[in-house]
Structure formats: C-alpha cells, structure tokens
Structure 1
Amino acid sequence: MRVLMQNRSSVFRMVAGDSVQMNKTREALRQLGIEVEIKTQPTSDFSGYDLVHLFNIIPIEETYQFYQRAKKYGIPIVLSPIYWDPKEFLINITNERKDHFLTWWGKTNALRQEILDGVDLLLPNGLVELELLQKEYKLMTPARLIPNGVDPLFYYANPDKFIRRFGTKDFVLCVGRICRRKNQLALIKAARSLNQQVVLIGPINDYQYYQECRQEGEGQVRFLGGLTQGWVASAYAACSVHVLPSWYETPGLVNLEAGLAGCKVVTTDRGTAREYLGEMAWYCSPDPISVRDALRKALYSPPLPGLREHILANYTWDRVARLTLAAYQEVLR
C-alpha cells in the first residue's frame, strides 16, 4: 500500500500538533510496512498512490486544493479534521485582527463543508470532536475514531539533566507555541497570584503576545524557546505540574507527554482532553481565575493515580498507526 499524506505548506516551518500527528503517524505506519510520502504542495500525479490522507481543516485553503485534485483524480480520500470550533477564541482575543479572522472563518466554512461531505472516511481524534462536526456540519460521512499519540520515551523521563542544566525544579511548566490560543498569559497571571515560578518551552509564534507575557511575568517566568524531545522529557520530570490552559485542544499532545512523564496535569476543558485523561487531571476554563483555582488544587494535591499507565496502554503512536491502517483498509475494500 502506498499512501500520500498532505498538509499545509508551513507544516515543517511552523511545527504544531498537526505536524507531529502527521509525522509520527507516518513513521509508525512505515514500521508496519506501509509506504508513506508527504507532500505539502498540490500534486497532479496520483498514479503511484492507493489513497490520500489529508490533515487539518482549520487552515482550509490549501487543504481544499489538495482535496480538489484528489477528487478530480478519483483516488480514495481520508481526512483527519483536527477540528474544534474556534469562534469562542476568536471572539475573546484582544487583537486588532479579530474581525478579520471572524470574517475569514465565515467565508471559508463552505469549503470545510464540501470536504467533510466529499471524503470517503473521517478520522477524528475523539468522540467529542466527531459529535461537534456532526452537529455543526450535519454530516453523513462515515467516521472511525483515531486517537492522538505519544512517544513511549516520555515514560522514562528523568529530571536530572534539566535540573543540572537550568538549575531549577518544582516549577510550573507549559510546553507549547507562545501564542494567544495556548493562553500562556492567563497561566502567568494565575501563577503570579500563587507566587509560583513558570517555565515556558516552545517557539514564539506571536511576538506581540510574547512581549505581553514577558511584561506580565517579569522576574517569575523563564522562556527557554524550543527544545529537543529529550530536554522536554527531562523538564516534565523536573516540574511540579504541567499546565496547558488553551482556548481549545484536541487533546493537546503535550498533555499526553506530560502525563506519561509522571506530571500532574492541568489542562483546558475546551476540546477533547477530558476524553483522553478522564478524572486523572485537573481542568480549567481559559480565564485566569479558573486557571489559578485548578493550578492551586493540583499543586496541593497528591498525583492522581493511573494516568501514566492509561496513556501508555492507549495512546502510543504504534497503536495509532494500527488503527489508521485498519481505516485505510476499510476504505480500500
């Protein structure tokens, strides 16, 4: 079987959850003997492929081009939507481009509808995501749930390397791109009110927002930029709690990494995180008061049992690949 994966042209330059999901799924499928190629530009030659796997319908324009080409050729198409309705986030961000984004979302929704109706199989990352798609787009397209995954190496995370290099431990950690959707500013405000040191790991996607976070967190926040997987794993093991207070996540790959590394996890109640983590994490809404309350509970509570074992049993990339391959086979039959 030969599979073509397609995603936005910036997928390798601006690495995000969809980048990791696509790459890790490809790597694990190759371990199962499946030939997988990634192309981030439209192609007119599908003759060597049995199936096209599209990713991400939030930035829709490029995905729509991929879809049109594959549809014209008549090749089977599966779609990982990686979807959550961003309108709450877009309405609440204090940004001069808010009206532009809301207008863009309304204008491009017809493209999402066409793709969702036209592909052969949907591969949502969670039941809540699927139910939201069915509600908002009145779907008739069949779907098979494919969870997101995590590298088992995080299970063996050791704090010593991070502590020796950066000279700190028992801090509040957030791993993720520095941007408004990840909502680090709310975390900084919450942690300041509890007199907690914050460490942020991740690239800067929004420089203005980064400056706001720096100003708010002066003296209590360390920005370490993007780090390799080994350093991030050690940071998880060294911190007291990992917090991801985003406006939405599906479910937030760093939630799985942190939980597998043995962290106490605080995360957003918007999206599919609760579906993955159950009652083994603490949840907050995106406002700073809710983040503060959840952070306080996590800091002064013992770890909730069972999270590492639950993640290792259900959300490795190997299992994701096996479920994905079964979905491919279903379409090709």
Structure 2
Amino acid sequence: MKQGSYPTAGAIAQTVRHESTSLNGVREFFASAGIVAYATERSGMANIAARTTLAPTTARRISTFLDMVTPAVGGLVMQPAGVQALQLEIGPMTACGRLREAADAKNQSPVGRQRVVLECLDVSSDERWEWMGILSYDHSFRLKSGQFTTSRPRVTFHVRSGPHPTQAQILVEIRHADDHDVVTGWMGALLPASERWSFLPFALLNDRHEEIRAVVAALGGTNARVANPQLQRRGTRTSAGEITEFTRNMQDARYTTLMQGLESLLDRADAVDDAILGAFDLYAWSGSTKSPVAARLRLKQLNRDPLTVTWGAAREQRTASGLPLASGVQLDADGWEAMTPVGWDEDRKMQHLRGVWHQILSSVATATARQAA
C-alpha cells in the first residue's frame, strides 16, 4: 500500500469473507469505529463492510483486528545466564525490580525493527502479579485484495518475582500470533549484555507427563476431563524390538475423541505410541460451587514452542431459556451438550486465562520440588 493510501471498502469486505480472517476481530474493529453490526455470520459482516465508508485513519487500523487469534496466554522466565558479575548494593535487588527499572528507563523509546514502544507501565490490574506493561509495535497485514496495511496493535504483559530473587515470571496476553515473540525480543534488548540475564519461554520438561498430571489436578482435580490429544515422538525411543515399525516412524499423531480421564491419554502415549502428550483439550469446572461454569481450554507445547493455554468455550448449568437444569450435570460429553454457552467478553476470557496460568506455575513448581526430593 502506497504512502497515504488506505484499504477500500471492497478490499475490507473481500478480506472479511475469507475464512482465515478473525470474525471476533472484525466485530471489535466495527465497535471501535462506532459501527453497530448485528450480523453473526461471515457473509453478513462482509456485506456491512462493503456498504460502509470509513475514515482513512480508521481504515488503516484494521490490521490490528483482522488477524487476531483466539485469546491465549504464555510466559517467560527471567533468570541469570551463567555467572553474573558482582553488583553494587544500590537500586533493585531482585530480577523483577531490575526489569521494571530498565523498562521505566526505556519508556516511549522505540526498540528493534518493529519499533516496539512501552506505552504504559503500572501496577498490575491482576493482584497475583506485581506490575504490568503495554507494548505497541508495527504490524503489517496483507488484505486478500493484495494490499498491505500497517497498524500498531498492543500487547499486555504482567511481571512478578519468581521463587528466587534472581528470577522473575512474566505472563504474556496473546491476541496476535507475534505477541509472545514481541515481548521476548523487547525484554531481551532492555538490559545490557554485561549483566547476563536471559529470558526463556516457559515450557514443561521434555518428558512432561508427571508435570501434566500436576497441572490437570490443579486446574480441575479429579473431575477434570480431557479430549482431542496430539502426540509427538519422544526424543529418545525405546529399543526397536519393543515397538512396531509404524510406531518407530511416527512423528505426530492427532486424535479426535470424546471426553475422558487424563490417564487414558497418557496410557495411550506411553504404551502404544511411545510418544509424549503435546496438546489436548482440558474441561474443568470454574467459579463458585453455587453457579459453576464448565470451561474448555487448549494446552499446547509442541516441538520447541513454549507452553500456551488457549481459550475454548464456557458453558453454564442452565437451559437456553435461562432456567437451571433439573439435575446435577456431569462433566462429560452429554453434560457438555446439555449446558448453555456463556457469552464472556474478551476481558473476562483473559481474566480466566490469567488465573489458569497462575495455577499452572504453582502446580509445576510443586511437581518439580516433589521430583527433586
């Protein structure tokens, strides 16, 4: 797209019709522009876009919304990279404090090729975290008409001290595919190399089944159910004589299943596929005991990617007319279908994901300590 030009209504409508475009992002874009859109299907949203003339400044912001991903969270761990040099006993004495000091010094200064800028630095809006920041960065988007447009989406992160003063835990709220990498790159450029800090994506161990047991127990207890696993080849296989040729050459296996217990998935991975569990859907109750909500999440850690938790859906124990279901509902396939979807907004979904990430960090720390004992 040339300097001074902007996406036309036809180009926007063509992009909205494409199945890869985020409909939730389209709705948020219309809302930010003051447009009331009642359409629920892709074709209806595209027709609205085709008939709407947007101001150039509004149209240029569209790339912030059209490729939004399903809300998710991931994390980083700040810790020493090797032996650190002696430091004077002045200023922050923790990794969390040092990171905030460096971030404050870099406030409003662009970093890197994407011109990443810290727009906000404040106490975290979530009481489980100490402080938070909001970054904006250059983001290019190719419309289906072939035009390119650039906008500056924002990504929010939260920071708190880790188990040791030399560690800090960082949570990243993911709404675009690049968000996690943007935060990682920006933090890596904050501190001088002489201080020897590293920012590592949070991930479970390579042989992670014990940690997965701890995570599922923390999130849902004995009532948690899982489904739709994705298995990946282990780094170290058992001897060739103990497994079939197919299993020996299997790299990745995806299964479509109904809800079941976690142990059945792990048994399949260990005894049949000689693999590790890389991703799965988790169903667990959330909220108060008087009005519980069943939530579906997707936990994923494939190859060398970090662990992420992606929003799925939520349902409550009510009929479509709003009346409570006649009897207690079990968390299984039939119970899930009997319940009614809950229309949480994006902020409520992210709040739930932050709570899930907090539980994951606590459960993994407990599992690691138990294994080390």
Q: Which has the higher helix share?
A: 1
**TM-score normalised by L of structure 2:** 0.24
Larger Rg: 2
* Structure with the higher fraction of residues in strand conformation: 2
- TM-score normalised per structure 1: 0.26
